[in-house]
Amino acid sequence: MTGPRLQHTSMLIPPGAQEAVRAFYGGIIGLAEKQPPQSLAHLNLVWFAAGEGEMELHFLPDPHPPDGTDQRHICLVVDDLEDYRRRLTEAGMTITSAEPIP
């Protein structure tokens, strides 16, 4: 890999809008729905494969998750994670580490 590449993006949707998201992104746009990890099943997420490789769209139906965090984000795959952490810290960003999703 020569630089960062986008792995997924997460977007908030109104609670109960999962079927509308499926109808639009799956039915009209033609993206293939993916099954989120079982450990996240309680969140009622909707995931789609979006292009070659692992590119995904994640839709989160609850804008106020139990842990109080804002789940909107993009995920980049990089060759040297520590280098990017250093760059972000030096630029004044606060890094919040998370547990890997099983």
> What's the confidence (pLDDT) of residue 50?
82
Query: Looking at the predicted structure, is the pLDDT value of residue 35 above 90?
Result: yes
Neighbour tally for 6: CB within 10 Å: 15
**What average pLDDT does this structure show over 53-63?**
78
Q: How far is CA 77 from CA 1, 3, 24, 33, 81, in A?
A: 9, 9, 27, 21, 8
Q: What percent of the chain has pLDDT over 90?
A: 16
Measure the CA–CA gap between 56 and 66, rounded to whole angstroms: 23
Confidence (pTM) = 0.67
**Domain 5-90, CATH 3.40.190.10 — does that match?**
no
Measure the CA–CA gap between 54 and 57, rounded to whole angstroms: 10
Q: Which token pair is 29?
A: 């746009």
- Arithmetic mean of pLDDT over the chain: 82
Domain edges within the chain? 5-90
